[in-house]
Amino acid sequence: MTTTPYTMTPLRYRVVARRPDTADVVTLDLDPLGSPVQSWAPGQFTMVYAFGVGEVPLSVSGGEGHRIVHTVRSVGAVTAAICVAPVGTVLGVRGPFGHGWSLPDRGDLVLVGGGIGLAPLRPLVRTVMARRHRFGEVDLLVGARTPDDLLFTDEYDRWRESGISVHVIVDRAGRHWSGQVGVVTSLLDRLRLDPEITTSFLCGPEIMMRVIARNLTDRGLTAGQVQVSLERNMRCGYGVCGHCQYGPLMVCRDGPVTDYATAEPLMAVREL
């Protein structure tokens, strides 16, 4: 039996695997101890509770069956507690919440992930791989601060083998880096786009999403063909507490994924 997401009661999940990805990012596999949450879609998030510390929204970065995978960057008290949780730790999980990515039936796809923003795109990549024959050009642009901050690097070859063009760029190169250096927009400039048939999916710092979305719309995509994943502080997860209000949106309920046509006027307002 699965339970409705619209509750404040967390369900108990046990950490069954823990993989450090970078110095401050960890991926955790979580299995339910009792009733699982409802099945999730790529781009959705859950509220994860570190008992005695607090609860935070985390995008689902993978998982099959009742298993949920989260990839977490340690930035404060709760994410730090989740990142150090050893195998066997019990965490609370509510959700899944919000709207995920809306994948078209066919056409070209451009996915752009900056930093931890690659986490919610990873399940979308896997869905695309499973239906790869339906799509034309599929480009995944990955940006990170340094080579050591790149996520899921051991999966890039598999993604490439399935016909996804993976382009990687870092802000600052290390001594052993022979790849591209610069901002993720410079990767975009080199792509040949067919605006008629392209859908784009962006997740990363808001400034990155704004610049990329503007670049794409300047090149002929409509704002409706560009999807962005929004972030705001959240509490309830289902649109009743108002913590994540963003103009007319409750990001937890109306997002986190929304099209740029909806997000653009909000992103244009400073400090909204």
Ligand X SMILES: Cc1cc2nc3c(=O)[nH]c(=O)nc-3n(C[C@H](O)[C@H](O)[C@H](O)COP(=O)(O)OP(=O)(O)OC[C@H]3O[C@@H](n4cnc5c(N)ncnc54)[C@H](O)[C@@H]3O)c2cc1C
Which residues of this chain interact with ligand X, rule CB under 6 A? 45, 54, 56-59, 71-73, 75-79, 116, 119, 231-234, 256
> Closest separation between CB of residue 178 and ligand X, Å?
28
Nearest approach in angstroms of CB 110 to ligand X is 21
> Under a CB-based contact definition with an 8 Å cutoff, are residues 147 and 156 in contact?
no
Q: Give the integer Cα–Cα distance in Å for 154 and 136.
A: 24
Min dist CB 233 to ligand X, Å, is 5
- Position closest to ligand X via CB: 76
Please, which residue, 169 or 251, has the CB nearer to ligand X?
A: 251
The nearest distance, CB 162 to ligand X, in angstroms, is 23
Whichever of 13 and 135 has its CB closer to ligand X, that residue is: 13
Please, what is the minimum distance in Å from the beta carbon of residue 40 to ligand X? 12
Return the bridge partners of 135, or none: 107
- Tell me how far CA of residue 28 lies from CA of 10, 125, 179, 230, 268, in angstroms: 17, 19, 29, 23, 35
Distance of CA 14 to the CA centre of its chain: 22
CB-nearer residue toward ligand X: 27 or 217: 27
Q: How far apart are CA 137 and CA 193, in angstroms?
A: 9
Torsion of CA 5, 10, 15, 20, to 10 degrees: 80
Q: Coil, strand or helix: which one is 46?
A: strand
Q: Which is nearer to ligand X, 59 or 225 (CB)?
A: 59
Of 57 and 204, the one with the shorter C-beta distance to ligand X is: 57
Please, which residue, 75 or 181, has the CB nearer to ligand X? Answer: 75
As measured in angstroms, the least distance from the Cβ of 83 to ligand X is: 8
User: What per-residue string of b and e applies to 178-195 under the rule 16 or more CB within 10 Å gives b?
Assistant: eeeeeebbebbeebebee
